[in-house]
């Protein structure tokens, strides 16, 4: 770690390996989530941070991960607060939301959240690496 931050490597192969470690149905959901985020955050880079696939654009943009019965999506507390009314159908907390594996991903909602996060992070001064 440098300055209390994990070392960031732009290695999408690590994310590919992460996805491959799950059964096919979960892998498909993870790949769908990755694709949705990529579409709206095409300027972002990908890395594994905190054991989760992460998109980075002037700092952390969003994280996502497969858990026992859901996909965790971690777009920061401000994004959760902004979209909390639209998230009432899901379990959510200060910084993340749980999308059940047996339900379709709410693509439009995820897209709005990612676009919000991109807009937020583009206002930041880029961090020197």
- In order of 20, 27, 75, 123, 128, the CA distances from 115 in angstroms are 27, 24, 11, 13, 23
Kindly state whether residue 128 falls inside one of the protein's structural domains: no
* Per-residue confidence (pLDDT) for residue 124, from 0 to 100: 82
| pLDDT digits (tens), the chain, 129 positions | 333 444 444 457 899 999 999 999 999 999 999 999 999 999 999 999 999 999 999 999 999 999 999 999 999 999 999 999 999 999 999 989 999 999 999 999 999 999 999 999 999 876 665
In a domain, 7, yes or no: no
Is residue 6 one of the residues assigned to a domain?
no
Spatial separation of the C-alpha atoms in residues 34 and 29, rounded to whole Å: 9
Q: What single-letter DSSP state applies at residue 76?
A: -
Which tokens is 74 given?
A: 């971690």
Would you say residue 105 lies in a domain? yes
Report H helices in the chain: 12-20, 24-40, 77-82, 107-122
Is the distance from CB of 60 to CB of 54 less than 8 angstroms?
A: yes
Q: Rounded to two decimals, what is the model's pTM?
A: 0.86
Range of the domain at 94: 12-122
pLDDT value of position 11: 56
What pLDDT, on the 0 to 100 scale, is given for residue 2? 34
């Amino acid at each position: 770690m440098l300055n209390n931050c994990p070392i960031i490597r732009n290695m999408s192969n690590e994310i590919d390996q992460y996805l491959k470690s799950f059964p096919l149905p979960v892998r498909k959901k993870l790949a769908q989530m990755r694709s949705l985020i990529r579409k709206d955050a095409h300027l972002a880079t990908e890395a594994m941070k905190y054991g989760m696939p992460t998109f980075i654009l002037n700092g952390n943009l969003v994280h996502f991960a497969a858990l026992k019965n859901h996909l965790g999506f971690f777009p920061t507390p401000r994004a959760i607060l902004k979209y909390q009314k639209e998230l009432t159908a899901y379990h959510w907390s200060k910084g993340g939301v749980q999308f059940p594996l047996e339900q379709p991903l709410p693509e439009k909602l995820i897209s709005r959240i990612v676009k919000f996060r991109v807009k937020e992070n583009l206002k930041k001064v880029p961090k020197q690496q």
